[in-house]
Structure formats: structure tokens, C-alpha cells
Structure 1
Amino acid sequence: MSEANPIVECVPNFSEGADSRKVEAIVSAMRVDGVHLLDWSLDPDHNRSVVTIAGPPSAVIESAVRGAGKAAELIDLTVQQGVHPRIGAADVIPFVPISGIKLDQCALLARQAGMEIWRRFGVPVYFYEAAASRPDRSNLEDVRKGQFEGLRDVVRKDSSRRPDVGGPTLHATAGASAVGARKFLVAYNIFLNTSDVAIARAIAKDIRASAGGLKGVKALGVLVHGRAQLTMNITDFEVTPISRVHARVTALAARHKTALAEGEIIGLVPNAACEHNSDWMGQLGHFDPATKILERRLENPLPWPNGAR
């Protein structure tokens, strides 16, 4: 694809993973001519859904903004709970360069989308990573510190935590959205053969970049259906291949007298990140290359759902 026909990806994360009707309505609202639906999934354990779309920049912006608006209509964070950190109904909306477009251009798209989300729906916005307007908002973890409940209270007292667009307070039920631009991120989870979540948290602390671990790795230890899980975002698989993450987790698990069970990829993974015949790919459950590898899904996108609520 040439620069005359740029393709951008967007991966909105919504704070609803239990009610399939709501998620289907959100995804359906995102249907815009020219935009391909590549993946959408519900995670009831984390109470979160992830949608992946791709297409021309202006159409993708419109699709993402519509999704944020429908999420604000259907998701009430005052009654929503989940183990995954969140500050908004449409929690994070990252724009990712695919072809014919650069990261700094995606940052401009993020700024446009953020302004529209506030203008149309009254949901304030924080800009993060490559779209950040302040250095202290480059890291999503810093933006989401305190989650919805904590941020809702602190913005009333601390002007430094107020949104970049809109506000100064959060939307009463939809919170705020973090809109950004980043490189391709691989969302990778590993279950451990233990119910001791303290082990998962200890391993997460050892491997996450912010604690001096592996570069470009964000990690949390959580309990899912009574099993300890490492939930990770690998933000630069070229610098830190997934096989290196897997090897490090394997060694740390052994140190804690446990082992790895199965792994899972949330959303899509680019072919360049796949290491065929590797240990980590061998432990993936239900991994279908035709539906999970980005390049293949671009050639054969999903049909849009017709959900309405």
C-alpha cells in the first residue's frame, strides 16, 4: 500500500466484557464505509472488550469516535467493576501506523479524535504515548493512576491531573478516555500452574520495564477463575521478542516452584512478531493464524455485527 493510500489501525478498549449485547451494539456503531473490522473479543474476567479496526485515517477516526460515544451511552463506570485498570467507558483508543503513515501522523489523528469525543459526547480526553502533550502523560499507567474512582476525586483538587481536552471534571458515568498513538502492541497473557496470585505479581514486577525488567514490557499479576495469570503488553516486540519474555517468565516461575500453563494472545499479532515453532507459540490455546495474524485478517476482515440497543 502506497503513501497515497495510508492505512491506520485503531484498537479501542471498552470497559465491558460481560454483556455481549452492549459490546455488539458498540461495535455495530463503529461501522463506517472503508473501515475494516479485524477483531473483537469479550473478556468477562477482566470485564473488558478489545476491538481492532483498520482503514483510511479519516474513516478510522470517525469509527473510533462513534464507538466512544456508544460506550458512553451504554457503560456506567459507577456500577462497573473488573480486575483491569480503567478510567473510562471507552478506556483507551490508540492509533497505530500500518502502511503509508508514520507514528507522528497517527499522533495528529489521535488529537483529532480526542477533540471530537469531547465535542460530541462531553467525555474528556487524556492524550498518551506519542500523542502526549506533556511528558508525564507519555505512560498510560501514569494517566490511569487511581483508576476511575481515584481520578474522579483527584481532578477536583489537583489541576495537574485534569484532562487535556474537556473537563475539568470527568464524565459522571463514562469517565474519561485516553487517546494515543503507538507502535503495534502485542497483548499476551500467561496462566501459571498455581492459584497463588502473589507469585504472578512478583513475576510481573520482575519483568516490567518500569521496574527495571524487560524493555517495552508492561505486566500485571491477576487472579482469573482461581488461577494466577500474568497479563502483559509488549510494546516493542522488535526490541524484546515474545520468546524472550516467555523464557524469562519460565525461569522466574521455576524459581517460585511453579510452571507455565497455556498462553493467549488478545486481539491480533503481526506476522513479524510470530516465532513459529517457538515454545510460546506452542503453548497458545486456540490460536488460528487465519484469524489472529494481522496481515491475514486484513485480507479477510470480519462482517460487522448488526447489534442494537
Structure 2
Amino acid sequence: MKLMEAVPNVSEGRRPDVIAEIARRVRAVPGASLLHIDSNADANRTVFTVAGKPQAVRRAAFALLQAAAEYIDMRTQRGAHPRLGATDVCPFVPVAGMTLTEAAEEAERLAQEAAQKLGLPVYLYEANAHTPERKNLAFIRRGEYESLPQKLAELPPDLGPRAFSPDVAKTGATVIGARNFLIAFNVSLNTREVAAAKEIAAVLREKNGGLPAVKAIGWLMPGYDCAQVSFNLTDYQKTGLAAVREAAKQQAEKRGLAVTGSELIGLAPEEALLNAGRFYAPGLTDKTALLKTAERELGLNKIRPFDFRKRILEYLLFIKRL
């Protein structure tokens, strides 16, 4: 059976009623299962994880795009996380029985629907990108929502309107495409100095000669009373959670700082956590013990409650019987 995952990131993390309504719309789509919701008020962002048969996941993603466009007004939206629109980005990920090319075909269909039925400017990225530079989300999102009037003219969307109309001013633009698994992983520092977090991010991101397959930014999280380095691991087999945590710790110590904990945003493949457990306990073989070791050594339970059973994609797919 073909299984696909969608991980839409919505530019709303402060209004529980809006988040609940978006979730309700997604759950109303037959054949798609909402596995996880991860919200952060400081980032003003919510990450939804939806899985199921490809066509059902595409329909659920459209329902989410429609709800976000209705309830989020980008003219007043502010938050720590970079964003371009009400639904900032919607990646499709092949999970089982399908290829990245097939996931890209579903992403193309969603992009067409979003442009034609919702009037959204749509940029295609990753496997759907029409030019090499557009594979990179950061390239498309540079300047964020505030740059959109100029961006629509200088970097036209692949689909949808190219004029900054009142409707587009409200919804912003969205980025859609297929990619492989990505792990979002934030590391907290014992300081509120965001400059230190940005320095560490700059050193460790791949494009500056840092860790392979790693993107990073630094920001302030007032709700946690600290600065964080926010990482995207685009290939956890090249650079895993433990390697990122240890590199961040080393860079923090060079600046007289310490890593106080970490958090996983959304879900992760089981193997990513098992690899972290093996890093910290090389002789351990029991799966549960390895997962608990990863949780403890990464500090995943020091910022907010963490239960690995609720954060492993394969486990949630199994209990949902997709």
C-alpha cells in the first residue's frame, strides 16, 4: 500500500481556536490521519503531520490550505519563525510503497488546486523545483512575507497570481513540493543573547562549511526564557541528532555557554532516535533502552514533556492502522 506524509507548516501558533478549526478540517477528510500537531507561540507557527493514502493526504492538505487562508491574516502576523504565507510550506514525503517522483506528482496537483481554487501564489521547491535555486526553501523565502510585493515581480511564483492584491496581502504565498524526511530539532542555550545562537547556527550550517545536510538559524524564545539554535536535518543518515547536539554543545562551550535541552518538532523516523541512542550507548541493543537513552542524552524532556512513543512516525502509523 502506498503511504504518503504531509507536513504543512501554518503561520499560527497563538490562537488555539484557529488551530483546532484547521485540525477539524483535516480530520474531516476520509482516508487521511492527523498524526501530530506541534504549536509554538513564540514562533507563531504550527506543524501538522498528516499521513495516509496519497490522494487522501492531498485532499487533507488542500483542506488545511483553505482553512489557513480563511483564518490567518498575514498583514498582522508576527513571530520568530521565517514565513511567507498563511500556510508557509507544505511538503509531501513518500513513506512506503511509493517514490519521491510519485510524491512530487501529488504535490504538483495540490499546487495547481491551491493556485486555481484558492488564488494562492505558489512556489514549487525541492523535487518539484523548476530551477536549481528554487529547490532551496530559504532562497524562496528570503525577505519573508514583507518582501512579497517585490518578490512576486522579481521572483514570480510558479503558479497563481503575480500581483500583490488585497487577497494575496491577506494570505501571502505558499511553497509546495516533495522531499525526503526532514527532522526539525531545536537546541536551547543558557542565555537570552540571540546573537550567540545566530553565531552557532552560522558555524554549523552546511552552506557555510558546517555539518553536512544541516540548515540552521538562531532565534529568541521568550516563552522558554532563552535563545535557541533551530536545526533542519535534511538527511539524518549523513548528520544525526546526536552529532548536531554535540556540535552545538561544543560551539556553546567555546562561547562560555551551555546547552540546556533540546526539542523535536513534529515527528521523526524511529531510526533517527535509535541512531542517537547507539551514539551515546554503543553496546546497547534493546530498542526501548536505546530510545530512552536518546531521549535522556539529547535532553528532549528538559524543555517540555516528551514521549518517544508519540514522536515516532512508524509507531503512530502502526497504531492508526493506515
Question: What TM-score does the superposition give when structure 2 sets the normalisation length?
Answer: 0.89
Match of 2:268 in 1: 269
2:263 is equivalent to residue 244 of structure 1: no
Q: Provide the rounded CA distance (Å) in 1 between the counterparts of 2:238 and 2:277.
A: 18
Shift of 1:280: 5.9
2:28 is equivalent to residue 13 of structure 1: no
2:309 is equivalent to residue 290 of structure 1: yes
Return the match for 2:18 from 2, 19, 22: 22
Shift of 1:130: 1.1
Assess, with a 3 A threshold, how the Cα gap between structure 1 residues 92 and 297 changes in structure 2: closer, same or farther.
same
Q: Which has the higher helix share?
A: 2
Alignment of 1:1-309 (within 5 A): 5-31=1-27, 32-156=29-153, 158=154, 161-170=155-164, 171-225=168-222, 226-274=225-273, 275-276=276-277, 278=280, 281-282=295-296, 283-285=299-301, 286-301=305-320
Which whole-Å deviations, capped at 9, do the CAs of 1:226-271 have from their partners, x for residues lacking one?
4111111111001111111111111111100111001100111110
Which whole-Å deviations, capped at 9, do the CAs of 1:40-86 have from their partners, x for residues lacking one?
12110100000001011111111001100110000000000011110
Q: Provide the rounded CA distance (Å) in 2 between the counterparts of 1:88 and 1:154.
A: 13
Q: Provide the rounded CA distance (Å) in 2 between the counterparts of 1:264 and 1:16.
A: 19
Q: Provide the rounded CA distance (Å) in 1 between the counterparts of 2:75 and 2:116.
A: 23
Q: Contact conserved, 2:86 with 2:172, CA < 8 A, in 1?
A: yes
Shift of 1:153: 2.7
Partner amino acid, structure 2, of 1:229: Q
Return 261-270 or 145-154, whichever deviates more.
145-154
Q: Contact conserved, 1:20 with 1:42, CA < 8 A, in 2?
A: no
Q: Provide the rounded CA distance (Å) in 2 between the counterparts of 1:108 and 1:202.
A: 38
Matched-pair identity in %: 39
Shift of 1:300: 2.6
Q: Provide the rounded CA distance (Å) in 1 between the counterparts of 2:5 and 2:183.
A: 13
Q: Contact conserved, 1:195 with 1:227, CA < 8 A, in 2?
A: yes
Match of 1:305 in 2: none
Q: Contact conserved, 2:182 with 2:235, CA < 8 A, in 1?
A: yes
The gaps in structure 2 that reach 5 residues or longer are 281-292
Shift of 1:290: 1.5
**Aligned alpha-carbon RMSD (Å):** 1.4
Aligned length: 295
Q: Contact conserved, 1:289 with 1:296, CA < 8 A, in 2?
A: no
Shift of 1:299: 2.0
